[in-house]
Amino acid sequence: MMLRAFRIYLLLLCLGCGILHAQDTRIPFHLSSDNNLMFQAVLNGTDTVNLMLHTATSDLSLTETAVARLKTLHFNRTDEHIKSWGGSENSTRYSAPNRVQIGTLQWDSIAVWEDRQSGQGTDGKFGLDLFRGKTVELDFDQQVLVVRDTLPAACATYDKLALRQQGDMLFVEAALSDGSHSWKNEFLLHSGYAGALLLDDAFVAVSGIDAQLKVLSEQKLTDAYGHVLKVKKATLPSLQLGRYTLAQVPAGFFEGAIGRQKMSILGGDVWKRFHVFIDAARAFIYLKPGGLMDLPCKS
């Protein structure tokens, strides 16, 4: 808790040190084959890095591999006892202050943390907290992120869903069906997860959904510190998000790992199908089908 509070303090301090912005600032990104939203950034006016937008984090972090080639990044502290997704404790270094530019936006005093892993083809990741107090639009058809002061009038035609905010994480409710039964569950918005759905252990145990679905494959996932987790993958007949329904959606779960996966995840293979607005208060998400809506889900 102390580490999280310290990180939030650092972030607020950094954001207060001068973000240069203009209304409706457009930042291009590349949507990779792994459903990562990749942005080119410049560190301290010199080093160029590719960063992934990770909606479930507040930190800006770079991988050890990327750090090794950078000229302007200098670490001045190490934090211990950081819990990873894989369940173990780790230590990590951080560097502050740094100047970061993404598109035409610049932050003058940012802390950069060191991780071992990031999305395929990226040097690190950043979260929505860089756009604190701003509305964020994600246009996957044009592959552009737009930072706005207010929601546009067009959002009145979008499906409006409530978000629950917990620290730097945002959750939305969705309904699942195995063809015979249906359940509602809360999902973490996680653009750093390339797949469609990852189900939490408690939900799987209570619903018994794992017994209703045919397991098609097993996949190895790696957390930010390099720990490998094995996930079983099945196909869910339908996922309902607001008034929109997706069919034949891949869903992953950890068999026999009760308590490890504590939250269900809505990943990039779902996100990319919508035109998305997230309001400045992070209280609502607005969705409308985009050009990728009918694309088959990635198995």
Instruction: Tell me the CB-side half-sphere exposure of residue 176, using CA atoms within 13 A.
Output: 27
Of 8 and 109, more confident? 109
What's the confidence (pLDDT) of residue 261? 78
86-132: per-residue pLDDT in tens? 445 567 888 999 999 999 999 999 999 998 889 889 999 999 999 99
> What gap in Å lies between CA 104 and CA 270, rounded to an integer?
28
Q: What is the mean pLDDT of residues 180-208?
A: 92
CB 287 within 8 A of CB 146: no
What would the CATH number be for the domain defined by 2-135? 2.40.70.10
Q: Which of 189-193, 206-210, 286-290 has the lowest mean pLDDT?
A: 206-210
> What gap in Å lies between CA 22 and CA 13, rounded to an integer?
21
Task: Provide φ and ψ at 235, rounded to 5°.
Answer: -115, 125
2-135 and 153-289 agree in CATH topology? yes
Q: Which of 37-41, 50-54, 94-98 has the lowest mean pLDDT?
A: 94-98
| Dihedral sign from CA coordinates of 153, 168, 46, 38 | negative
**Domain extent listing, the chain:** 2-135, 153-289
245-281: per-residue pLDDT in tens? 999 999 998 765 555 678 999 999 999 999 999 999 9
Domain formed by 153-289, architecture = Beta Barrel (2.40)
What's the confidence (pLDDT) of residue 231? 80
> What is the pTM for the complete model shown?
0.85
